[in-house]
Structure 1
Amino acid sequence: MAKGATTATSEPLFSFGVIADIQYADLEDGYDFQKIRRRYYKHSLCHLQNAVEDWNGTQVQFVLQLGDIIDGFNAQHKMSESALERVMEEFKKLRVPVHHIWGNHEFYNFNRDYLAQSVLNTKNLQDHTLLSNSNRDQSSIGDTPAENYYAYQFCPMSKFRFILLDAYDLSILGRDTSTKKYQDSLHLLQEKNKNENLNSPIDLVERQFVQFNGGFSQDQLDWLDEVLTYADSNQERVVIVGHLPIHPNSSNDICLAWNYKDALTVIHSHKSVVCFLAGHLHRGGYCLDSHGVHHLTLEGIIETPPESQAFGSIYVYNDRMVLKGRGRVPDREMYYRDNCTLF
């Protein structure tokens, strides 16, 4: 179907909300690490309140919270649990489910064991379609062991699937130092980053190898490949969600996932993926890659001044997705690569 066609596309199939990098803290305004970009720690809660009110009014089917829900400064002031509780009070006002991604600030405040038992673990919202259609062991497709990585998938409607990835599966953040995955992650990071400060990208060839980023284990990439293989065979469309961007043209070179190229290789080997949603880069970003996949990096709440906003609603049609942004988030039309309808 041509982009200008309207047959069977005049009404959206469903819609969902998107928001990133709230980073709430009951603190006065501050600045980023370069002392350039202002951060509105307290007012981020007001932005969330406005977003919840908007989504309740527009009746989205669910919301994707793209990570960094509270700021790392909460840990220094021993306010992590109270800050999370305050933010969740606002999310509870939503009339629809919220899917939570884990970012680096989640791990500044909590370890993985805590997060797995917290309200930020929304794997209970996953879809079990793949399990019922597979003869494989449950841990190998459609479902993932909690002790390995935080990732899951769900279907808001037939033929449309969302996959939430754990971009800190490889990371030294939030893991016990005695674990193999911590040791493997530390070895990889120190191999790529010789700086005394592992958060510094100075003189790095691959500038994404800093401590505040992370990556995807081979196990998780294999799981992603299996889910996408199923989606291909079932003629589905897939949106993948993660805190870290995976395409250089949708981010700066510092905020990418460590092994973003590996993730892109898996995604580009499948025809079902239409979009990758991320946060982390507070100024936002977007590109349409050479394989027809849209990469949308959402602008962050934390660097949004009180007079503006930074969230959006995405309307899904047979042939495209339409982002209706608020404030700093611009509107976008994102057509599927084959211009074919779902039905």
Structure 2
Amino acid sequence: MNRRRFLTSTAIAGGLPGIVKAEEGAPPLLRFGLITDAQYADAEAKGERHYRSTPEKLKRAVEELHGKDLAFTLHLGDFIDRDFKSFDVMLPLMKGLGHPVYHLLGNHDYDVADGEKGRVVSTLEMPHDYYSFRSRGIRFIMTDTNEVSVYRNAAASVETARAKEILAGLEAAGAAGAKPWNGGFSATQMAWLERELAAADAAKERVIVCGHHPLAPADMHQMWNHVEVMALLEKHPCVMAWFNGHNHAGDFAEKNGIPYVTFRSMLHHPENTAYSIVEVHADRVKIEGFGREVSRELRLRVA
């Protein structure tokens, strides 16, 4: 079966076999902003994490993105670090974008009192813990990689007890991502994701799947059931890429034709920021990084 593939390219001289050529000088199909792990808290700095510096950095990023004629901005989780009241500081800053903002959930967004966990989704104006939307012919699937975790639900809940059992099994197996700050999908969310991808295939849509936790490469930030999720993505030709945050240092992997991009956090050091503008073209995805974020070009190929 032929499938579209995105590959990292540092130099494309004279073209490569099988590349789907875009019309010379054609504008991108879609441009959007991307921020992750703003992770604000009214707390003293811890190592290189300068929590109180984040609102000013977010404000500057919003000012830059506001003037770039973008369709929307994504935030890939960990909008705050702790205390529900932190949302009151950060959310008004995003209104300066002047365009829609699509959030997904990170582990630190649930670092709040048990009685407040159920309010996180509505506070971020998300339609559900996981959802999809379309923009200019591209489908974005916003997943919840915290759904099965030891922090998502109340400490005394059945769900948390079951997550602890799963974590213990991963630890016994020596899994790289067997850490209490990671999580995974339930069978229900996996089935939903498969329906979304099948629908996109049928509609001949391109898809970018987003989550907080990385699927690859293997390290201490990795999603718990990454193997099953990657196998599902590989089944569907519509999938262009997986975008995530969580690992503040950033990372990149390409597996069986799908790129897995980990975007960097803007949290680190008071003078450093990180955010991106992403362009989707007919033959490539271009990521322009600002601050400590890396610029990349992902080339669209036909296998």
TM-score bracket, shorter-length normalisation = 0.7 to 0.9
Question: What secondary structure sits across from 1:114 in the alignment?
Answer: helix
What is the root-mean-square deviation in Å for CA atoms of aligned residues?
2.0
1:114 to 116, 119, 140: 119
- The one-letter amino acid paired with 2:135 is P
Q: Do residues 315 (structure 1) and 284 (structure 2) align?
A: no
Question: What secondary structure sits across from 1:58 in the alignment?
Answer: coil
Distance 1:13 1:4 in 2: 14
Q: Do residues 297 (structure 1) and 302 (structure 2) align?
A: no
Q: Do residues 53 (structure 1) and 56 (structure 2) align?
A: no
- 1:4/1:293 CA distance change after superposition, 3 Å: closer
For the 8 Å contact 2:267–2:273, the answer to whether it is kept is: no
Counterpart residue number, 1:165: 143
Counterpart residue number, 1:14: 30
Bigger RCO (CA 8 Å, 6+ sep): 2
Alignment of 1:256-335 (within 5 A): 256-290=222-256, 292-303=257-268, 305-335=269-299
The TM-score normalised by the length of structure 1 is 0.78
For the 8 Å contact 2:288–2:294, the answer to whether it is kept is: yes
Distance 2:102 2:20 in 1: 33
Distance 1:264 1:324 in 2: 26
1:133-187 deviation digits (Å, cap 9, x = unpaired): xxxxxxxxxxxxx5xxx110010022x1000000011112131345443332122
For the 8 Å contact 2:20–2:283, the answer to whether it is kept is: no
Counterpart residue number, 1:224: 193
Q: Do residues 175 (structure 1) and 139 (structure 2) align?
A: no
Q: Do residues 26 (structure 1) and 42 (structure 2) align?
A: yes
Tell me the CA shift for residue 2 of structure 1.
5.6
Q: Do residues 215 (structure 1) and 187 (structure 2) align?
A: no
- The one-letter amino acid paired with 2:141 is I
Give unpaired runs (5+ residues) of structure 2. Answer: 1-16
1:217-269 deviation digits (Å, cap 9, x = unpaired): 11111111111011111111100000000112xxx511000111111011011
Tell me the CA shift for residue 121 of structure 1.
3.7
2:215 to 246, 251, 276: 246
Question: What secondary structure sits across from 2:147 in the alignment?
Answer: coil
For the 8 Å contact 2:40–2:52, the answer to whether it is kept is: yes
The TM-score normalised by the length of structure 2 is 0.88
- The one-letter amino acid paired with 2:46 is G
Tell me the CA shift for residue 318 of structure 1.
1.2
For the 8 Å contact 1:240–1:277, the answer to whether it is kept is: yes
1:193 to 171, 184, 195: 171
Distance 2:237 2:58 in 1: 35
Distance 2:26 2:273 in 1: 28
Question: What secondary structure sits across from 2:267 in the alignment?
Answer: helix
- The one-letter amino acid paired with 1:45 is P
For the 8 Å contact 1:9–1:317, the answer to whether it is kept is: no
- The one-letter amino acid paired with 2:225 is N
Question: What secondary structure sits across from 2:67 in the alignment?
Answer: helix
- 1:189/1:17 CA distance change after superposition, 3 Å: same
Question: What secondary structure sits across from 2:194 in the alignment?
Answer: helix
Distance 1:177 1:329 in 2: 35
Tell me the CA shift for residue 4 of structure 1.
8.9
For the 8 Å contact 1:8–1:318, the answer to whether it is kept is: no
Q: Do residues 62 (structure 1) and 40 (structure 2) align?
A: no
- 1:322/1:284 CA distance change after superposition, 3 Å: same
Tell me the CA shift for residue 336 of structure 1.
2.3
- The one-letter amino acid paired with 1:44 is T
Query: How many pairs were matched up?
Result: 285
Give unpaired runs (5+ residues) of structure 1. Answer: 32-37, 124-145, 195-203
Tell me the CA shift for residue 188 of structure 1.
0.9
1:85 to 62, 84, 88: 88
- The one-letter amino acid paired with 2:95 is K
- The one-letter amino acid paired with 2:279 is Y
Distance 1:176 1:326 in 2: 37
